[in-house]
């Protein structure tokens, strides 16, 4: 059917009545003309009428055939089916509502997770033709490949012209000041080649990206704000262009605001502004990030030339790589990189969100299970409904409706249900997706994900809806139309068909019980995992420790000044009332940053150890137990002998049978290699990673090392932190306002953030488990209520013969417990099998404790009892007389 034919038929469908009238008129006209012609050619009037009538004997058929020419058969039938379904749903609103709600929960869960996974991982960047972008993968001689290349190499590739365009991007924290705000703010700034917006094809919201002058090589301090930063910090003021902001005290002019849809090519991060990188060889003393250092590494993105493929571009790139190795002075790159590969670049860089990959995939699987349970539930309800409607179908069949026609009617009903469920699920998804990202840890890097339900989510949701509609509708449609008409017309005496149908429904309910139990157990294990991972080794309540991270930019604060600030700050804050202790650590436990070093006993082999720099009193402030020796003190300062504190793991590894105190330890930091004396030993904790047992760890003295971006830990004497934050910030302001203080939270918050992925999985799978349990309860209730009503006569006879309510109750309960028992056994097996599969992918998952499994089975039994209640009471209240008379 051509497109024109389609639209013609559709138009006809709308104006059908008018068409019939027109055809009628037209044919009458023809008849009359013919009559006149016959009369004119000599027929008598009567003869003419007879002749014309004979010629028009196929009149009705012609009309029917003309109409047929326009018919849109399947669409018309479909609309009729839909109308009929809507009518039948109106008659049984409780059924329709339960089915739609079940599906909405299942589809909503799947859709929520899909939206999240899509936003975090799968959706291409919202730039022009993202499929034409390429990223680079520098294959290392050892270790993971990197997506970064030296600025020098990117410039060479740009000059070589093997791409339609290539641009480089990097990011880092900056101190931002604007207007009268006293304290500098911390922002994440992006540095990019001047052609950044052009190559990516991003249309800025205001302005035009970097100026034309800049793109032609004349560098100027220009800044393009991100849309969300502009909204938040500048109140969406359109007159912002041309104003000056200060980055690390250096003035930049605002030339644009980026498009609302793009947060940057680093997935999941809201880079608050973008500034142009300096030409090679130039630098600004205040901002290291934008210096044109030829060896600075940037993440390059290239746009392929029209018609050229990744493989073709790879050939040209290989030649350029050889050339670069020959000419560069970058010895480090030459030693490290084996080859540079082009990879599809439609998705940007995922460094910040890669950690969410596994949790989201696990959640996707669990959501799929919820959807399956919902499908079982609706299939079950449809089967019951099919049984109840057997008479209706028999009547229609005897009136000539084909089996296919009836099956199609049932399919229309199930698809209608699933679409209604899908629409409601979408509303649900839109609602819950935001809550999902309440779990995102916000620390020194601001994570932001665009969770708008877009056309991709729409397509996904309605495909799932259609698919499930067909899936759960197929079987009831088949069952309802499979028995013979004669059989169905004979009242509703139980026949072999209804018996088969009931058996099938029982299998569905058991499957439902099995899947929801498996989900519950999964939820139990994930909750257990989180509570196992939450570190317990700290001897103080982490909710009473407040954290303030500060960043005196190294470009504008000398090492001397930073030391001075830190000392003064600690002094002032320790003197505040209600402060139990205050200390600084460079990274501190469970933050976003970590450090490590090679260490060795003199003359022995080097090993890797974690490292941090702390001020005196740090271990006591956050409650890490000191085992032996002493803490750092004020004497451990620049020029004094270097001191180190180690943990028990390191002692076990390096000094299994010796006293560690007083020993000499070589520690390599950067290119420096110095000897430290061990002055103390502390207990093992999960300092940097909650997922792994602690390895060897060394702490060095902050006063001997110099702070870079330290965090201040303030332990409150009282239970309430109220007012403490503002009092501490006052002290910061009294000391210096030129650096940002950010990421203000309690140690307890930081611990929760470090478990974000696990908490997300635990909470959501818990929610999924409860949803699945509810669905199973609905399913159980349905089958039990049906069974009681079907056996009403039998129960009535039993009671008339003297059966006690207790034995009737037992009769009903036995059925319920058999269903739950078999279902639970299957569920346990599913849980065990999938547990094996999953534990490969999730590190640090708690083992499947029998306690958890038993608790979940008990929960399932309790749910079954709830579902049993109403049908059981109804069974006991059956009046034998009425039950018998009913027949």
Partner 1 sequence: MDAQTTPELLPGTLFMMILRSLRKGPLHGYAIAQRIHEASENGLQVEAGSLYPALNRMLVKGWLKAEWGLSGNNRRARFYSLTRAGRRQLQAETKQFEKVIRAIQLVMRTV
- Smallest separation, CB 14 to partner 1 (Å): 15
- Smallest separation, CB 71 to partner 1 (Å): 9
Cβ nearer to partner 1, comparing 11 with 159: 11
- Smallest separation, CB 8 to partner 1 (Å): 5
Cβ nearer to partner 1, comparing 43 with 817: 43
- Residue 187 CA to residue 208 CA, distance in Å, equals 22
Cβ nearer to partner 1, comparing 25 with 237: 25
- Residue 793 CA to residue 784 CA, distance in Å, equals 15
- Residue 78 CA to residue 814 CA, distance in Å, equals 44
Cβ nearer to partner 1, comparing 30 with 183: 30
Cβ nearer to partner 1, comparing 59 with 318: 59
Cβ nearer to partner 1, comparing 18 with 129: 18
- Residue 589 CA to residue 753 CA, distance in Å, equals 12
Cβ nearer to partner 1, comparing 76 with 283: 76
- Residue 563 CA to residue 735 CA, distance in Å, equals 12
Beta-bridge partners for 598: 608, 668
Count of CB atoms situated within 10 Å of the CB of 25: 10
Residues that bind partner 1 (CB under 8 A): 2, 4-5, 8-9, 12, 22-23, 25-27, 29-31, 33-34, 41-42, 55-59, 61-63, 65-70
- Smallest separation, CB 56 to partner 1 (Å): 6
Who contacts 322 (Cβ-Cβ below 8 Å, separation ≥6)? Answer: none
Of 632, 734, 638, nearest in space to 677 by CA: 632
CA 284 to chain centre: 40
Of 409, 759, 686, 419, nearest in space to 537 by CA: 686
Backbone angles phi, psi at 188, to 5 degrees: -95, 120
Of 422, 288, 307, 433, nearest in space to 360 by CA: 433
Structure tokens at 441: 């840890």
Q: What is the DSSP string of 688-755?
A: S-TTS----EEEEEHHHH--SS-EEEEEESSS--TTHHHHHHHHHHHH-SSS-EEEEEEHHHHHHHHT
- Smallest separation, CB 83 to partner 1 (Å): 25
Residue with tokens 């680079």: 136
Cβ nearer to partner 1, comparing 72 with 810: 72
Of 615, 613, 597, nearest in space to 672 by CA: 597
Of 110, 829, 866, nearest in space to 517 by CA: 829
Of 595, 600, 597, 566, nearest in space to 583 by CA: 566
Element (H, E) at 541: none
Structure tokens at 398: 């005897």
- Smallest separation, CB 79 to partner 1 (Å): 19
Cβ nearer to partner 1, comparing 46 with 306: 46
- Smallest separation, CB 47 to partner 1 (Å): 10
Of 326, 220, 227, nearest in space to 282 by CA: 220
Cβ nearer to partner 1, comparing 72 with 178: 72
Residue with tokens 């309440």: 438
- Smallest separation, CB 46 to partner 1 (Å): 16
- Residue 517 CA to residue 625 CA, distance in Å, equals 42
- Smallest separation, CB 74 to partner 1 (Å): 16
Of 677, 661, 680, nearest in space to 602 by CA: 677
- Smallest separation, CB 62 to partner 1 (Å): 4
Cβ nearer to partner 1, comparing 41 with 142: 41
Cβ nearer to partner 1, comparing 62 with 220: 62
- Smallest separation, CB 490 to partner 1 (Å): 45
Structure tokens at 746: 């309690």
Count of CB atoms situated within 10 Å of the CB of 216: 8
- Smallest separation, CB 48 to partner 1 (Å): 11
């Amino acid at each position: 059917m051509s497109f024109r034919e389609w639209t013609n038929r559709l138009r006809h469908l709308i104006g059908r009545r008018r068409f019939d009238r027109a055809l009628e008129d037209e044919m009458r006209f023809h008849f009359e003309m013919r009559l006149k012609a016959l009369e004119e050619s000599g027929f008598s009037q009567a003869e003419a009428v007879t002749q014309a009538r004979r010629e028009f004997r196929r009149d009705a058929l012609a009309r029917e055939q003309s109409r047929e020419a326009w018919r849109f058969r399947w669409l018309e039938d479909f609309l009729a089916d839909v109308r009929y379904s809507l009518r039948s749903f109106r008659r049984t609103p409780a059924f329709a509502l339960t089915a739609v709600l079940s599906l909405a929960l299942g589809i909503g869960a799947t859709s929520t997770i899909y939206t999240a996974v899509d936003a975090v991982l799968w959706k291409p960047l919202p730039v022009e033709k993202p499929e034409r972008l390429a990223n680079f993968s520098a294959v290392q001689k050892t270790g993971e490949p990197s997506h970064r290349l030296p600025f020098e190499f990117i410039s060479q590739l740009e000059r070589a012209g093997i791409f339609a365009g290539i641009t480089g991007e990097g990011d880092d924290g900056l101190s931002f000041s604007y207007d009268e705000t006293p304290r500098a703010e911390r922002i994440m700034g992006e540095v990019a080649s001047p052609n950044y917006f052009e190559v990516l094809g991003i249309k800025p919201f205001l302005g035009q990206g970097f100026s034309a002058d800049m793109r032609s090589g004349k560098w100027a301090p220009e800044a393009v704000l991100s849309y969300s930063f502009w909204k938040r910090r500048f109140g969406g003021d359109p007159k912002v262009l041309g104003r000056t902001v200060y980055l690390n005290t250096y003035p930049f002019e605002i030339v644009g605001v980026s498009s609302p849809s793009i947060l940057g090519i680093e997935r999941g991060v809201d880079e608050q502004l973008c500034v142009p990188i300096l030409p090679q060889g130039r630098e600004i003393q205040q901002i290291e990030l934008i210096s044109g250092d030829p060896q600075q590494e940037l993440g390059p993105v290239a746009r392929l030339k029209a018609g050229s493929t990744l493989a073709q571009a790879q050939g040209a790139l290989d030649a350029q790589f050889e050339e670069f190795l020959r000419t560069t002075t970058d010895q480090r790159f030459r030693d490290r990189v084996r080859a540079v590969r082009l990879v599809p670049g439609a998705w940007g860089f995922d460094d910040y969100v890669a950690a969410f990959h596994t949790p989201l995939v696990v959640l996707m699987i669990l959501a799929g299970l919820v959807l399956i349970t919902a499908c079982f539930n609706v299939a079950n309800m449809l089967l019951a409904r099919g049984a109840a409607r057997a008479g209706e179908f028999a009547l229609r069949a005897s009136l000539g409706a084909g089996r296919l026609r009836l099956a199609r009617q049932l399919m229309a009903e199930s698809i209608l249900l699933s679409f209604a469920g899908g629409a409601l699920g979408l509303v649900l998804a839109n609602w819950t997706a935001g809550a999902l990202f309440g779990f995102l840890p916000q620390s020194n890097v601001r994570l932001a994900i665009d969770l708008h339900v877009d056309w991709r989510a729409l397509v996904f949701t309605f495909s799932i809806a259609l698919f499930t509609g067909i899936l759960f509708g197929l079987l009831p449609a088949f069952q309802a139309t499979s028995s013979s008409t004669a059989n169905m017309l004979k009242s509703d005496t139980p026949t072999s068909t209804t018996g088969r149908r009931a058996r099938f429904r029982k299998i569905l309910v058991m499957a439902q019980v099995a899947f929801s139990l498996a989900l519950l157990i999964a939820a139990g294990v994930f909750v257990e995992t989180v509570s196992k991972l939450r570190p317990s080794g700290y001897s103080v309540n982490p909710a009473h420790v407040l954290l303030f991270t500060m960043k005196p930019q190294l470009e504008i604060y000398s090492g001397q000044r930073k030391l001075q600030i830190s000392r003064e700050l600690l002094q002032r804050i320790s003197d505040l009332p209600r402060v139990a202790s205050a200390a600084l650590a460079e990274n501190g436990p469970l933050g976003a940053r970590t450090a490590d070093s090679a260490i060795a006993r003199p003359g022995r082999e080097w090993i890797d150890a974690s490292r941090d720099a702390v001020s005196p009193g740090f271990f006591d402030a956050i409650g890490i137990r000191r085992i032996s020796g002493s803490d750092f003190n004020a004497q451990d300062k620049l020029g004094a002998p270097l001191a180190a504190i180690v943990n028990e793991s390191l002692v076990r590894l390096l000094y299994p049978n010796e006293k560690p105190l007083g020993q000499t330890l070589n520690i390599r930091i950067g290119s420096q290699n110095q000897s430290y004396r061990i002055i103390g030993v502390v207990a093992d904790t999960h300092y940097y990673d909650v997922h792994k047992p602690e390895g060897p760890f060394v702490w060095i003295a902050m006063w001997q090392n110099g702070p870079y971006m330290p965090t201040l830990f303030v332990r409150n004497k009282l239970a309430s932190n109220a007012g403490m934050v503002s009092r501490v910030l006052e002290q910061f302001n009294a000391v210096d306002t030129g650096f940002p203080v950010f990421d203000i939270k309690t140690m307890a918050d930081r611990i929760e953030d470090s478990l974000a992925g696990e908490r997300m999985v635990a909470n959501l799978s818990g929610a999924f488990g409860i949803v699945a349990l509810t669905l199973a309860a609905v399913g159980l209730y349905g089958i039990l209520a049906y069974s009681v009503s079907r056996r009403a006569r039998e129960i009535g006879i039993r009671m008339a013969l003297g059966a006690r309510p207790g034995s009737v109750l037992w009769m009903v309960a036995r059925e319920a417990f058999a269903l739950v028992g078999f279902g639970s056994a299957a569920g346990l097996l599913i849980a065990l099998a999938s547990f094996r599969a999953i534990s490969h992918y999730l590190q640090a998952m708690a083992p499947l404790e029998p306690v958890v499994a038993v608790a979940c089975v008990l929960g399932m039994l309790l749910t079954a009892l709830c579902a049993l209640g109403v049908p059981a009471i109804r069974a006991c209240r059956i009046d034998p007389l009425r039950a018998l008379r009913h027949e």
